[in-house]
Amino acid sequence: MSINLQALSAQLLVGLINGSFYALLSLGLAVIFGMLNIINFAHGAVYMMGAFCAYFLLNIFGIGYWPALIIAPVLVGIFGMVMERTMLKWLAGLDNLYGLLLTFGLALIIQGVFQNYFGSSGLPYAIPDELQGGINLGFMFLPIYRGWVIVCSLVVCLATWYLIERTRLGAYLRAATENPTLVRAFGINVPRMITLTYGLGVGLAALAGVLSAPINQVRPLMGADLIIVVFAVVVIGGMGSIMGSIVTGFALGVIEGLTKYFYPEASNTVVFVLMVLVLLVKPTGLTGRAV
């Protein structure tokens, strides 16, 4: 079997794009799980809200893609923080099944509301003028917007990793993940940190939503479809590891892309097959700590 380089690199590109979204979303899930011990099933819904936020900003206020890249994650992040303050907060100390159920219910409500007003079909969101067109790399044609999504996601992921692993604020976060009681006894307002962390995780999902709007259109169920795969990514990578979720996110996107080229029939299931295999060998995930 001869390898068609053009088709292969096209699938690799799709894989990297999907990997960008997997990485951004699973990173947020990992940060939230570490700090709040909540498996945030509302993550797909807030991803969708990010995309809708960009859509509203453009069509109601005439605010374009570039400002939306900042404004939408901030607004959705604030929405997340309100959710944490009014609801998730009360689940602290309970089995994480409660958090899972609550966030799952919230996701259904949020998605239901959007479906009620916007149906299930996609709303268009145009690629910004600056990122139109593409570059011929010789072996393949790279649409500029797709290249931008990969680079942007990589930069944001690494910046988040740096923030958590290399800064003083990140040290607070890591310490509070280990022993919130003691960190609070040192004079740090841990409840406020928890709220901000949830806001950060939700904001990352909303950013992924804005990035995906020009590629995948804006649909109420765009997150529901994606989040299932993202949870498989998180299980494979291991909950609670920052770099683990970034690397696993991109790697699984690429593996999916390769599968699409070599054995397309398995492309939708390969992630779940890998998940089963990893769970059999290493139940805490590739980089995870025991929960």
Partner 1 sequence: MADGTMTAPGVSGSAKPAGDAMLAVQNLQAWYGESHILHGITFNVAAGEVVTLLGRNGAGKTSTLKSIMGIIGKRTGSIRFDGHDISRASSDKIARLGVAYCPEERGIFASLDVRENLMLPPEVRSGGLSLDQIFTLFPNLKERLRSQGTKLSGGEQQMLAIARILRTGARFLMLDEPTEGLAPVIIEQIGRTIARLKSEGFTILLVEQNFRFAATLADRFYVVEHGKIIDGFASSELQANMDKLHAYLGV
Residues that bind partner 1 (CB under 8 A): 168, 171-172, 174-175, 177-179, 181-190
Query: Which residue in the block uniquely carries the two structure tokens 């779940």?
Result: 272
Minimum distance of partner 1 from residue 289's CB (angstroms): 9
Distances in Å between the Cα of 265 and the Cα atoms of 236, 261, 262 are: 21, 10, 9
Which lies closer to partner 1 via its Cβ, residue 92 or residue 266? Answer: 92
DSSP string covering 8-40: HHHHHHHHHHHHHHHHHHHHHHHHHHHHH----
Question: What does the block give as tokens for 12?
Answer: 């690799």
Query: What DSSP string runs through 170-203?
Result: HHHHHHHHH-HHHHHHTT--HHHHHHHHHHHHHH
**Given the complex with partner 1, which of 148 and 172 has the nearer CB atom?**
172
Is the CB of residue 212 less than 8 Å from the CB of residue 51?
Answer: yes
Q: How many CB atoms lie within 10 A of CB 3?
A: 9
Minimum CB separation of residue 175 from partner 1 in Å reads 5
Least gap, CB of 34 to partner 1 (angstroms): 9
* Closer CB to partner 1, 150 or 193, in the complex: 193
Residue 127 or 247: the one with the smaller Cβ distance to partner 1 is 247
Question: Considering the complex, what minimum distance in angstroms separates the CB of residue 35 from partner 1?
Answer: 12
Residue whose CB is less far from partner 1, 85 or 174: 174
How many Å is the maximal CA-CA distance in the chain? Answer: 65
Residue whose C-alpha is closest to residue 149's, from 250, 236, 28, 287: 250
CB of 228 vs partner 1, minimal distance in Å: 30
Tokens standing for residue 111: 């998605």
Nearer to partner 1, 136 or 181 (CB): 181
Residue 239 structure tokens: 């909950």
Smallest distance from partner 1 to CB 132, Å: 44
Residue 125 burial (10 A CB sphere; 0-12, 13-18, 19+): buried
